[in-house]
Amino acid sequence: MGIDLKLNRKMAQLALLQRIELASPFQKRTRKLLGRYLFSNFISKYLISLKNISENYSSLMSNEVSIMHKFLKQNQNILSIGGGIGGLEVMIMKEFNLSNITFVEKNYISKKIRYGWDYKNSEGYNNLSIMRDLLLDNDISSSRFKIINFDREKLPKDNFDLVVSLYSLDYHYDFNIYLEYLKINTNKDSVIIFDTIRYKYFKKIFKEVEIIKNNENTVHKSKRIACKSFR
């Protein structure tokens, strides 16, 4: 699509924490040597290139949209769970300008960024004010999105056509946290896209499960799946 996302330095810092593949080889080495705490609180704040991260983040989000493109349509009501700073959703809304998106996010950054499994879903890597600024700075009208603070607000009651949760739902924490909620707030034609290491498990939950990406280069060796129609 060729969309260049507008990021300021704070947005770039968050993007780096949320998507480790944006880190330079030097940043990855220092993270291993110095630990996650210094990476989260020093390296990601002071040792970054705004230009490089902005360009790489735009390219990364464009690629993510292309992977799910066949599931995107005009006038969709979309739910994004743990979507980060919102670059993916900006690109979707720019191409499909009648779509609206509801975000469910946490509003804090853990002292140590952990990229593994979190049984309690207690980790957080976001700032909702910065996320909102990114959406507005990239020309997305406030009438087209809602941001829900997971820890302080009730989950929205709606009928979502598409649910997207990349590297969040069933990648960092159990899908079953949202299972009953999604059953109630989607329909038989809704598509739910997320990353998991146990894709066969979801054949018991959904009538249709399609692998749309093999994430062989991630820590978890996960698969991205598109699911439809709860059993």
- pLDDT 10s digits, 33-52: 555 555 555 666 656 788 99
Q: Work out the mean pLDDT of the chain and round it to a whole number.
A: 87
Q: Report how far apart, in Å, the C-alpha atoms of 6 and of each of 54, 72, 88, 99, 144 are.
A: 7, 23, 12, 20, 18
Task: Answer for the pair 73, 151: CB distance below 8 angstroms, yes or no.
Answer: no
- Name which of 74-78, 117-121, 185-189, 225-229 the model is least confident about: 117-121
Helix residue spans in the chain (DSSP H): 9-18, 25-34, 36-38, 44-46, 50-67, 87-95, 128-137, 179-185
Residue 116 — very low, low, confident or very high, per pLDDT cuts 50/70/90?
A: low
Please give the order of strands across the beta sheet that includes 160-165. Answer: 145-149, 100-105, 77-81, 160-165, 186-196, 222-230, 206-215
d(CA 226, CA 68): 9
- pLDDT 10s digits, 40-87: 556 666 567 889 999 999 999 999 999 999 999 999 999 999 989 999
Burial of 226 (0-12, 13-18, 19+ CB in 10 A): buried
N-terminal to C-terminal alpha carbon distance within the chain: 36
Percent of the chain predicted with pLDDT > 70: 81
pLDDT of res. 172? 84
Three-class secondary structure of residue 146 per DSSP: strand
d(CA 53, CA 4): 11
Task: Answer for the pair 72, 96: CB distance below 8 angstroms, yes or no.
Answer: yes
Task: Answer for the pair 15, 85: CB distance below 8 angstroms, yes or no.
Answer: yes
Three-class secondary structure of residue 52 per DSSP: helix
- Name which of 8-12, 67-71, 102-106, 214-218 the model is least confident about: 214-218
- State the average pLDDT over residues 210-229: 88
pLDDT of res. 213? 96
The domain locations on the chain are 72-230
* Stronger pLDDT, 13 or 144, i.e. the higher one: 144
Give the contacts of 108 (CB within 8 A, at least 6 positions apart).
Answer: 124, 126, 127
Task: Answer for the pair 194, 104: CB distance below 8 angstroms, yes or no.
Answer: no
CATH code of the domain occupying 72-230 = 3.40.50.150
Task: Answer for the pair 218, 189: CB distance below 8 angstroms, yes or no.
Answer: no
Q: What is the pTM of this model?
A: 0.88
